[in-house]
Amino acid sequence: MKTSQLSLFDNGPPEWEQDDVTLEWVAGIVFPTGLTGSLDYRIPEPMQNELQPGMRVTVPLGKGNREQLGYCIAAGQKETAGRKLKEILTLVDSRRLLSEKMLKLTAWMAESYLCPWGVVLDAVLPVGVRDSAGTRLTSVLLPAEDYQKKLDILAKSPKGKNLLTPKQKQVLETLLRSEVSLTAAELARMAKCSMAPIQHLKTLGFFRVKHVRRERKMETPPVIPRVEPHQLNPDQQRALNMILEAVHQNRHETFLLHGVTGSGKTEVYIRAMEDVVKNGRQAVVLVPEISLTPQTVLRFRERFDRVAVLHSHLTDAERHREWQQVASGEIQVVVGARSAVFAPVPRLGLMILDEEHESSFKQDVAPRYHARDVAQQRAAEENVPLVLGSATPSLESWYRAKKKEYRLIAMPHRVRNRPLPYVGTIDLRTGERGRMTRGALHPQMHLAIQEALDQNGQVILLLNRRGFSTHIQCPACGEVMKCPDCDVTLTHHQAADVAICHYCDYQIPAPSKCPKCGFTGIRYGGFGTQKLEMEIKARFPGTPLLRMDTDTMQGHGAHERALTQFREGNVRILLGTQMIAKGLDFPNVTLVGVINADTAIHLPDFRASERTFHLITQVAGRTGRGDREGLVLVQTYNPDHPAIVAAAKHDYHQFVSQELPMREALGYPPFTRLARFVVRGPAERVCHEFAVELAERLRQSTEELELKSRLLGPAPAPFSKLRGNFRFHLHLHALDADKLRAAVRQAADRLKSPDGIQWMVDLDPLDML
């Protein structure tokens, strides 16, 4: 079959020719299976007035004409030059699922992230929306198109013969007056009759039956009492004025709102959104999934009547319902995680990305988009402002602000001029700790916890490692228990007494002796949250304690119940992984303890220092938010590390002034653009050979395009084996992003990988492992 190919990287739907030559009704179709480009299909006559771009269809594909689902990205009359096109089989949707604006945005994503357009479209539409989750197929009655003709025939028939009864006339009039389609049962109730007259009218041909989908009734969210707005301080008012200036001028501008923890950034967001809603428009607020707590959602529901919440814990039916309400325009504010950037608001007036530095805004599967960049593109296309907020902006955003691509707004003070908490470091290198105690807590940390409890305060302890023991090793022969499918050590989980791989979920019973030499004194080393919990219970018996990590927060509503207990004072010590480091506002927290600040600082990742600075600064911001002063203690073996020193001073500018020159000298983002390639497969030699071939093609394409670039690799990835696959990676650095993409496309053209070998490319990656 000859087809018209649409380049995957075109900037929008194809333009259809409108010449005087013979034209046919043709649709451009892209596929979620990853097929590159679009294919032309003839639109059957019955569909020509129904099919619109943004709808799904089924079409015959390939020599075998297998039925395949696809997305229509363009439809209209087109000259086919005598080509014999295959015909669309069925129209899947009764209405378009994607607007013209969303089609344009997804085309940009396909171009920017080197991903097939159909794959992008499938990622944008939630499964619940695609499957019409929470709906049921129902038969409704509609007047037959020739019902008036039938009435005229009856009126002319001999008197007393074939006339409708009064009840039948009432049924027909009821259906004609109804503004919505009715089932037979609903029509019977409205006409106050039995089913007999309805059935008789159907037999006479006055009704036609149509199958439609209707939503099942779902619980209505409770009404939340309104809360009066807070008085803004000068910093907040200045920030609000700058944002509203762009809102009122219907002008796109990206603002970087750099406010310390507790400076009142959320109140600025809400005030700006109130102005947008007052003028009949809608706002979208993105927050990291980990920060999308009930407390966060409540703040918005206390100020707005109609709020939609989009996150990963929604059922498909709930997500479909929220999506429908958003698309209808009845929702004022959308609050959600990364995918909420695609919320189908028809009258967008403002976009906000809170905690913009968070890595969870980057998707780790195709399309590997960053919600910050997609939000900026969408806001620019729809001519609305975008606000990026953070106490610790990513260096990419900070660099853009310094280059005047973003407009910087500073909020350097906490509300009510509350002081930032004192941050002290505890040097774990000293021999004193080893002589005086064993365990995760330094004596100074123990005393601080006891003092906070004695003063009726609450304590948050951060340890960003779950499990009990983080490695298992034989002291006799040195054997380390590793996952056979991954190049990582197994973690001991005491509750189930198993050793688990946190990457592929491989698990074995916790060994009592070395599997290699049989030595029975096997050593369980390292600390995870489970072991810390046991130590805290032993040191502070009777103190209400709660552990929050992915092992304990698996049940529906577990996260909300845990935070409610802590907020109400039923829990005195909250310990956990990074999920407790952000988005929490508890005025009675007087101590935050970082048990090990070094968990990420030595990872082979150029952002390791930045992530460490972010985490310490963010968790430090959880204390001192009320009238009581806060204290932060950080246990570390690297107290002189620049990231830890700057975090202890709450000094973002000091950190940036040291980190950015280092990045520039080494040629790393934000001074260059980076593409990371990962090749994986079960055969190590074949995997490496293909990675070498890919590297050679990249060198050729960059030379031909005269792209100033630097190629590193191939080399084994830091995690050289995961889930049974060996992994090699390459890094391609360049100044010109467009030429970088062109070089990748050229290198990938007609590149065929060996059986069992897969490869991927990630533009502007955050995961370097």
pLDDT score of 183: 82
* Average pLDDT of the segment spanning 109-125: 94
Tell the residue number behind the tokens 């049974």, with chain if given. 724
pLDDT, one tens digit per residue, over 304-361 is 999 999 887 777 777 888 888 999 999 999 999 999 999 999 999 999 999 999 999 9
- What pLDDT does residue 2 have? 33
Token duo for residue 122: 């499938």
Mean pLDDT of 381-407: 97
- Strands 386-390 and 254-259: what pairing? parallel
The span from the CA of 326 to the CA of 131, in Å, is 17
Question: What mean pLDDT do residues 266-273 have?
Answer: 96
pLDDT of 656 above 60: yes
**Percent of the chain scored above 90 by pLDDT?**
56
Least confident of 208-212, 347-351, 415-419, 679-683: 208-212
pLDDT value for 221 = 67
Query: What distance in Å separates the CA atoms of residue 734 and residue 111, rounded to the nearest whole number?
Result: 17
Mean pLDDT, residues 611-635: 87
Enumerate residues 6+ apart whose C-beta is below 8 A from 158.
Answer: none
In contact, 258 and 411? CB cutoff 8 Å = yes
Contact criterion met (CB below 8 Å) for 659 and 611: no
Look up tokens 């490496």; give the residue: 688
Q: Report whether 14 contacts 3 (CB < 8 A).
A: no
Whole-number average pLDDT of the chain: 87
Among the listed residues 367, 406, 387, the one whose alpha carbon sits nearest the alpha carbon of residue 764: 367
Tell me what the mean pLDDT of segment 174-182 comes to.
80
3, pLDDT greater than 50: no
Query: Residue 540 — φ and ψ, nearest 5°?
Result: -125, 65
* Each residue's pLDDT tens digit, 118-140: 999 999 998 878 876 555 667 78
What pLDDT does residue 515 have? 87
**Is the model's pLDDT at 366 over the cut of 70?**
yes
Is pLDDT above 60 for 218? Answer: no
Coil, helix or strand for 107? helix
Sequence length of the chain is 769
Separation of alpha carbons 472 and 494, rounded Å? 13
Count the Cβ atoms, other than its own, within 10 Å of residue 90: 12
Q: Is the pLDDT of residue 580 over 80?
A: no
The whole-number average pLDDT for the span 140-158 is 74
> Of 117-126, 206-215, 655-664, which gets the smallest average pLDDT?
206-215
Which of 3-17, 338-352, 458-472 bottoms out in mean pLDDT, i.e. has the lowest? 3-17
Report the alpha-carbon distance of residue 29 to residue 59 in Å, rounded: 9
User: What amino acid is encoded at 459 in this protein?
Assistant: V
Q: What is the pLDDT of residue 435?
A: 43
The mean pLDDT value for 750-769 works out to 93
- Reported as a single tens digit per residue, the pLDDT across 538-547 is 999 999 999 9
| 403-421 average pLDDT score | 92
pLDDT score recorded for residue 499? 87
Q: Lowest-pLDDT range, 4-8, 29-33, 66-70, 372-376?
A: 4-8
Give the pLDDT confidence score for residue 337 in this predicted structure: 92
Q: Where are the alpha helices (DSSP H) in 306-436?
A: 316-328, 371-381, 395-402, 431-436
**What amino acid occupies position 620?**
A
Q: Which residues contact 313 (CB under 8 A, 6 or more apart)?
A: 556
Specify the 3-state DSSP secondary structure of 753: coil
